Amino acid sequence: HQRYNIKSEVRISLGDKELVGSVSSISLGGVKIDTEALLENGGIVEMNIMSPDGKERVQVLGKVVWSQERKSYGVQFCDIAETQTSSISSWTKRLVRSS
């Protein structure tokens, strides 16, 4: 999937904990997560991602993954619904492609 730069707040639910972080890139397959918290590779999380303009919020389930290439954690979306894909796709039309 093509990646796009984004600055958006994300709230990640890990069991009974809620972590606040940011998303710095997004694609239809997942997001790059920037957080001070240690994420567990392979863990399943629930996220609420706010649109760049702050008017829309998408809730998705995902699997925490480690990118050796980017030296960062990300979340690969799991079973994303078409309505969620449509929302994210509409956001990317206004975003700059990531290198």
E strand or H helix at 90: helix 82-92
Percentages (nearest 5) of helix, strand, coil residues in the chain: 10, 55, 35
Output the pLDDT for position 26.
92
- What are residue 13's DSSP bridge partners? 18, 46
Query: How confident is the model at residue 12, as a pLDDT?
Result: 84
Q: Can you list the residues of the chain whose pLDDT is less than 70? A: 38
Question: Quick one: pLDDT at residue 78?
Answer: 92
Q: Is 85 helix (H, G, I), strand (E, B) or coil?
A: helix
Q: What is the pLDDT of residue 10?
A: 86
Give the per-residue pLDDT at 15.
Answer: 76
pLDDT at 47: 87
